[in-house]
Each structure stands twice: as C-alpha cells, then as structure tokens.
Amino acid sequence: MSLGKPRSEGVEVSRTQVGAKVGFRAFYTFYRGEHANRTCRRLHFVGTSLVVVTVAIAVVTRQARLLWLAPVFGYGFAWVGHFVFEKNRPATFQRPLFSLAGDWVMYWQMLTGRIRF
C-alpha cells in the first residue's frame, strides 16, 4: 500500500481503531480520509508552511522567543480546517505523534503534487 493512496484503496481504519496500536501506514490511511475537504488540506498546508518559516526566522535571527508561534500556526490553521470545514475532530487528540508525522507526510505530498492542493 502506498502512503499516497486514498482511504478507499488502502486499509480501512475506523476512528475507534485509531486509538489502538495500529502502524503508521494504517493510521495514515485514516488520516488522509480525515482530510477529504480541500479547504482543510489547504489550511494545513498554510499552517505547516508558517511553522517552517517561523522556525527558520527564529534560527537565523537567534530569537528563540519566536518559537512559541510554531504550534499556534500549526495547530491553529489545522483545527480551523477540521472544526469549520471538515467537521471532524483532529486525530491529534488520539495519536499526537502519528498525527504530527501524518501532517508532514501530507505536506510533502501536497508540495510534490501527489495530493491535490
């Protein structure tokens, strides 16, 4: 199974199963299904891009105090996408590390054109 395949082509994982010990591939299939709404995906992309820019500016300017903005941008944009547009609960609440990894995989796949922007 490719990480880029939609939920219908991969292993089905329910919201209940996400809390259990499933591997990242199965989780990512679920994660992609939770981001079916294009606006939600775009908000994730914007938030993650702002995280990258914020961390880069903090490192270059040596201003660590800017780093508090990274989670605000990352989670803020993503959660608006979920609560307002996708109308679901972010997977962060059940599997925070897998969810974070899933966000970066989805970001890369959007950046490289594997997922429709």
Residues near 43 by beta carbon (within 8 Å), at least 6 away in sequence:
77, 78, 80, 81, 85
Tell me the C-alpha distance between 9 and 3, whole Å. 10
pLDDT of amino acid 10? 47
pLDDT of amino acid 117? 84
Residues near 17 by beta carbon (within 8 Å), at least 6 away in sequence:
26, 30
Tell me the C-alpha distance between 76 and 58, whole Å. 19
Closest to 99 (Cα-Cα) out of 35, 43, 51? 35
Name the residue ranges covered by the structural domains of the chain: 7-111
pLDDT of amino acid 32? 95
Sign of CA dihedral 15, 20, 25, 27: positive
pLDDT of amino acid 18? 59
pLDDT of amino acid 61? 98
Q: What is the pLDDT of residues 58-92, one digit of tens each?
A: 999 999 999 999 999 999 999 999 999 999 999 88
Instruction: Dump the DSSP string for 20-60.
Output: S---HHHHHHHHHHTT-SHHHHHHHHHHHHHHHHHHHHHHH
Q: Report, as ranges of residue numbers, the positions in the chain whose pLDDT lies below 50.
A: 1-11
pLDDT of amino acid 15? 58
pLDDT of amino acid 22? 83
